[in-house]
């Protein structure tokens, strides 16, 4: 069983640029959630995708957007990067069905905005 993978591992961008982060779901999962973890903080929920549509969103501006593909992989796009966007971005996959959907996390992408 393949776990959740994310690419790239590290990324350095400058303020104002755009970035795309990628996530491959664990085998058998159909839902992807994205979290932002700033240094010294707990992860903050960005949004969740199910059946290629946004299924819920946290308190993040519209310049944070995403996609989910038919194979359930996902992208997180951030436009007009700001210094505060520097963080570890975590992807988690799960399978909707039943009363509880455990989320399995990937290793994250470390984004640095200069």
- Is 90 a binding residue for another protein by CB under 8 A? The answer is yes
Query: Token pair of 62, please?
Result: 């519209």
Task: For residues 46 and 33, give the distance between their C-alpha atoms in angstroms, rounded to a whole number.
Answer: 7
Q: Is 90 left (phi over 0), alpha (psi -120 to 50) or beta?
A: beta
Give the binding range for another protein (CB under 8 A) out of 13-21, 50-58, 63-71, 75-83: 50-58
Return the range that interacts with another protein (CB under 8 A); candidates 14-22, 69-77, 78-86, 89-97: 89-97
Residue 65 binds to another protein (criterion: CB under 8 A): no
What is the contact surface with another protein in residues (CB under 8 A)? 4, 31, 33, 35, 40-45, 48, 50, 55-56, 58, 90, 92, 94, 96-97, 99-108, 110
């Amino acid at each position: 069983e393949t776990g959740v993978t994310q690419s790239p591992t590290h990324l350095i961008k400058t303020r104002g640029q755009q970035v795309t982060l990628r996530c491959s779901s664990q085998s058998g999962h159909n839902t992807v959630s994205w979290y932002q973890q700033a240094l010294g903080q707990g992860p903050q929920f960005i949004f969740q995708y199910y059946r290629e549509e946004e299924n819920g969103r946290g308190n993040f501006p519209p310049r944070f957007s995403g996609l989910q593909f038919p194979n359930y992989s996902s992208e997180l796009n951030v436009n007009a990067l700001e210094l505060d966007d520097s963080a570890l971005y975590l992807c988690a996959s799960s399978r909707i069905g039943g009363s509880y959907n455990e989320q399995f996390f990937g290793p994250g992408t470390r984004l640095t905005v200069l």
